Amino acid sequence: MRVDQLLTEGLTRSFEFFPPKSDEESAVLETTLGDLEPLKASFVSVTYRGGAASRQRTFDLVTRVQREGHLSAMAHVICVGHSRAEMRELLHRYREAGVENLMALGGDLPDDPALRTSEFSYALELVELAREVGDFAIGVGAHPLGHPRSPDRASDRRHLAAKLAAADFAVTQFFFRASDYVNLVEELAALGVTKPIIPGIMPVTTLSGIGRMAEMGAAVPEELSERLVSAHARGGADQVRAEGVRAASELCAELLNLGVPGLHFYTLNRSTATREIHRTLFGV
């Protein structure tokens, strides 16, 4: 089903994966897909980092999920490294394969400078091209704390409002305070945005993850960092993991009480933490 239609029917629960690069990663993903199947996700999304090999891996995984018919799949497409002709061809391939859902993103700059060129400046242009190619349900990214490359929060919100005028919904970068989500929605509403904003969830399960989250543009609040450090003092890595899952479950419960349109879980291709959070929230 189309994600925009699913969002009209009630709360969505979705999971995000990345395409495996090796037999070992493939085996991990197969286990994860099997473990998560009983949770009956509304849809799954598949990331794409750029380059021909990654593009094909994403295409293969998305079309496989779609073909098997158990889940609705959403393909990530990005601006970086693409000409308009390349992207138009890829979008036609998705349409021919029956894929109806896209996540249009700017994309992270790859390590290889040769892959950084692009005929797209902003994700909005990618949304507009997808509209030309076919009748897709299109999502865009949203950053509650502001995109790392935005000069300021006000301009970030204006650009996001323009994207959402053309797209159908947004999925946020992960965050750790419900107030960050509330502020995002209220600031967009002040700009006339009424499209659904799905919060993205990723638990912090290691102390080293605190630094990684900040590098990804979603700094862990001091109060959560203190909870994790205290947990480590009590029982080491296992306690940190348990506390991180507990904190993410609390955030999700608060968001559900606020009436969010869905919950989107960044799984990193592993299921355990996601299943634990889901069980706490929904008993499954």
Please confirm, yes or no, whether 250 is among the known catalytic residues.
no
- Options 9, 16, 119, 128, the catalytic residue: 16
Using pLDDT thresholds of 50, 70 and 90, give the confidence band for residue 110.
low
Using pLDDT thresholds of 50, 70 and 90, give the confidence band for residue 209.
very high
Where are the domains positioned within the chain?
3-204+260-282
For residue range 33-86, list pLDDT tens digits in order: 889 889 999 999 999 876 777 788 899 999 998 888 778 899 999 888 788 999
For residue range 219-265, list pLDDT tens digits in order: 999 999 999 999 999 999 999 999 999 999 999 999 999 999 999 99
Percent of the chain with pLDDT over 90: 74
- Residue 9 CA to chain centroid, in angstroms? 20
State in words which class domain 3-204+260-282 has: alpha beta
